[in-house]
Amino acid sequence: MINLLRNKVIIVPAVLLLLALISPFVPSFILLLIIQVLIFGILALSVDLLLGYTGLPSLGQAAYLGMGAYLAAILVDRFEFGLSCDFPLVLVLGILIGAATAAFFGLFAIRATGVYFLIITLALGMVVWGVANRWNSMTGGDNGINVLSRPACGVDLSNDVVFFYVVFVVYSAALGGMYVLVNSPFGKSLMGIRESETRMQMLGYNTWFHKYLAFIIAGGYGGLSGVLWTHLNGIVTPEDVILTTSVDALLMVVLGGPGTLVGGAIGAMVVVGIREYLSTWVEWWQYVLGGVYVLTIYFLPEGLMGLPKLIKKRRPARKSEPPAEASSVET
Amino acid sequence: MKRFQSKITGLVVCLAVAFAFTLVSRTAKAEELRIGFLTPLTGFFAQIGKDMRNGFQMYLDEQGGILAGAKIKLIVEDNLGKAGVSVRKANKLIRQDNVHMFIGGLLASTGYALAPVSTRNKVIYIAPISAADDLTQRQKKKYPYFIRTGWTSSQPSHPFGKWACEQGYKRIATIGADYAFGHETIGGFQKSFEDCGGKIVQKIWPKIGTIDFGPFIPLIKRDVDAVFTLMVGGMSLAFPKQYKAAGKTAPLLGGGTSADEFILPSMGDEAIGYVTSLQYSASLNTPKNIAFVKKYRKLYGKVPSYYSESNYTTAQWIHEVMKKTGGKWPGRTRFIEIFSKIRMDAVRGPVYLDQDLNPVQNIYLRKVARLKQFGYPKAELWNTVIKTYTNVSQYGDIGRAKFLKQPVYSRNFPPCKYCD
């Protein structure tokens, strides 16, 4: 059992390492998509912490992505800040503004659960969209804000390969941080809340505060992804903050498997693959995307990450197979 | 041994064929001009997007897909009319398809989003429709690879303001969609109208996509001589109906999209008398335009709008450049140089680029009328041309230097001095 567990954990760094090795050699458009997957992977981590570990389905995570994205763009646009070695500082500021926004929104949202939580986070997300859309003098309104070049500090991030490695490092750190978090006592208490909030309250936990903290951390992750998002596209518009992005993030997690951390990135891979790649081939890509969602929810309640388990369950007769192989697919 | 030999021969033949193949494909590649085309094909703006593509495609088809010896590979991508999607699709066109240039974009916001992509990747971007003023004005320096073959939002408004003055209108109210395109169109009109003594006494800004003008029409002052509108999409259809139904009688003036050929077939008699200004009208009485309208209508079943004409002209413009280079791709800087020197005899009339790469062209004042023309049996609504202003640049009569000193037209500029 311990051996199996170790295998599971080790496969993630192995896959990441492989990704880091092959990425410089993939076609440049594919590389751009990989970066996009990683950025959405970070946003998905924030959704996963809430949905997968705390049991709070947030439909407003795009708001925090938006805060980080607009912060990065406004800093560059107004103060020419964040285009040189001060870029890491912008990443930190992005985390802070996402967390601060979540700390404010959390006051309204955390009191609710289930569908009500979903609706409140949705509404709060739309508030951010509304501000982005209407506050012309600051956000450029409908036109958004252009960021003409990426930061350069010794190395030039305008080079997609360099930018990939930056995003890759940030994603890996974010994933590692989240892994430590969910395995800490705090993470366990969140899972306890997910399973039975009343029981946790009976045990003396201040569940409101635990959820509030989780919400703030998730906001920070959202803000972080936003800063990278701005520099990937070179533009931020209200379109990025709109409900679709929130829904996408939620569905990525559901698709990949909630409560698995890396599941979000896998879900992001599928969604980005269909939305950005398949759409350049066929016009009916939206049906494919819809079909994938429906099929996942019908047949894979645990998402794509639950697939190996499902296969194992379907074939109970083949016990003689070495278990290591099966577990290497599963994470 | 014999088997071995035949194997060797087989291998050699294979290699030779493969080599020949690469040679052929390489020579073919040298003469191939790859053009990316970004337009909404699904969603709210799908119909307009198709008009845009049809215009471009029609010219290519007329030339058999070859412009002066260069084989054209047109790669169309659906941008859903959204800025973010446009950027990502443009990145795909540049990186995956290795395009020489990309064309398209509908809304001003897509123009603002795509121009930086061209700068970043050093790829030419041609905008036949996207009309955001500043791209070829105050921000032009940022976008060296950006060419416009369409218009700036305020370009047709400048002569229009003067015309309104000459008609004896003294007080005009404006009502227009609340976004950059609306602000710029109305701003240009206000500037030239007030410069010659008129007064804009009221400005109403319904949000873009408004269909119910019930809350706005009663606000329009009773004592105005005319109402200047700027509507887009479904708004264009709804406004005149509700305006007439409310018993308003002040004549309607408007920006080009308030009554363009895209929306005219769906309009009724309430549109008759609507005066708008644009660089194109389908009822232009020139042999070139009549042939264009007839052919387009036969192919696609509708009268062409400026969306189609502008893209048709863009394809023709590229053809002229390729003629000068003998079908060879001249490199982006040289391409822009040749492009900017060509004086086009386009469907819409004579067109050439100014120093900021925006067209200098005729602006037509068009009045909606129901009549039979070009041999079509039914009396239909047409934008009849009532006045032509020749060689209108984006700076109007103001002059480039002075124009660039004033801020971009917005909700607050020019200020509404006579509003109360």
Whether this model's ipTM surpasses 0.90 comes out as no
Query: Taking CB atoms and an 8 Å limit, are A142 and B95 in contact across chains?
Result: no
- DSSP-derived pairing of the beta strands B380-392 and B359-371: antiparallel
Which of B96, B110, B122 is the best mutation test for A, with the most CBs of A within 10 A?
A: B96
Q: Which domain holds residue A6?
A: 2-329
- Whether pTM exceeds 0.80: yes
Classify the phi-psi angles of B193: left when phi > 0, otherwise alpha if psi is within -120 to 50, otherwise beta: alpha
Residue/partner pairs of B400-406 with CB below 8 Å, 24 or more apart: B400/B355, B400/B356, B403/B137, B404/B137, B404/B138
Q: Are residues B146 and B162 in the same domain?
A: no
Q: Are residues B98 and B184 in the same domain?
A: no
Residues A266 and A256 sit within 8 Å (Cβ to Cβ)? yes
Query: Which residue among B353, B373, B390 closes a domain?
Result: B353
Give the burial class of A281: count Cβ atoms within 10 A of its Cβ; 0-12 exposed, 13-18 middle, 19 or more buried: exposed
- Sorted by sequence, the CB contacts under 8 Å of residue B63 that are 6+ apart come out as B319
Residue B316 has pLDDT above 90, yes or no: yes
Query: Taking CB atoms and an 8 Å limit, are A280 and B112 in contact across chains?
Result: no
Average pLDDT over residues B137-164: 93
Q: Are residues B247 and B319 in the same domain?
A: no
Measured between CB atoms, does A321 come within 8 Å of chain B?
no
Q: Are residues B176 and B196 in the same domain?
A: yes
Residue among B172, B79, B171, B163 at smallest CA distance from B129: B79
Q: What is the pLDDT of residue B185?
A: 95
Does residue B375 form part of some domain?
Answer: yes
Average pLDDT over residues B192-203: 94
Q: Are residues B141 and B167 in the same domain?
A: no
Count the domains in chain B.
3
Q: Are residues B71 and B101 in the same domain?
A: yes
Residues of B in contact with A240 (CB under 8 A): 84
CATH number at A39 reads 1.10.3470
Among residues of chain B, what percentage have pLDDT more than 70? 93
Query: Taking CB atoms and an 8 Å limit, are B83 and A239 in contact across chains?
Result: yes
Q: What is the pLDDT of residue B23?
A: 44
Residues B230 and B258 sit within 8 Å (Cβ to Cβ)? yes
Neighbours of B70 (CB within 10 A): 24
Q: What is the pLDDT of residue A142?
A: 78
CATH number at B321 reads 3.40.50.2300
- Sorted by sequence, the CB contacts under 8 Å of residue B254 that are 6+ apart come out as B228, B229, B230, B231, B274, B275, B276
Q: Which domain holds residue B349?
A: 34-153+305-353
Q: Are residues B174 and B229 in the same domain?
A: yes
Does residue B419 form part of some domain?
Answer: no
Closest-CA residue in chain A for B142?
A148
Q: Are residues B114 and B97 in the same domain?
A: yes
Q: What is the pLDDT of residue A1?
A: 44
Measured between CB atoms, does B84 come within 8 Å of chain A?
yes
Residues of A in contact with B109 (CB under 8 A): 142-144, 237
In the Cβ-directed half-sphere of B368, how many Cα atoms lie within 13 Å?
27
The distance of B199 to chain A (nearest Cα, Å) reads 27
Q: Are residues B163 and B267 in the same domain?
A: yes
Residues of A in contact with B119 (CB under 8 A): 148
The distance of A240 to chain B (nearest Cα, Å) reads 7
Q: Which two tokens stand for residue B59?
A: 């010219």
Q: What secondary structure does DSSP assign to B123-139, as a single string?
A: -EEEESS---GGGGTTT
Q: What secondary structure does DSSP assign to A143-204, as a single string?
A: G-EE--S--EESEETTSHHHHHHHHHHHHHHHHHHHHHHHHSHHHHHHHHHHH-HHHHHHTT
Residue B15 has pLDDT above 70, yes or no: no
Residue B307 has pLDDT above 70, yes or no: yes
Does residue B379 form part of some domain?
Answer: yes
Does residue B214 form part of some domain?
Answer: yes
Confidence of residue A5 (pLDDT cuts 50, 70, 90): low
Count the domains in chain A.
1
Q: Are residues B143 and B173 in the same domain?
A: no
Residue B28 has pLDDT above 80, yes or no: no
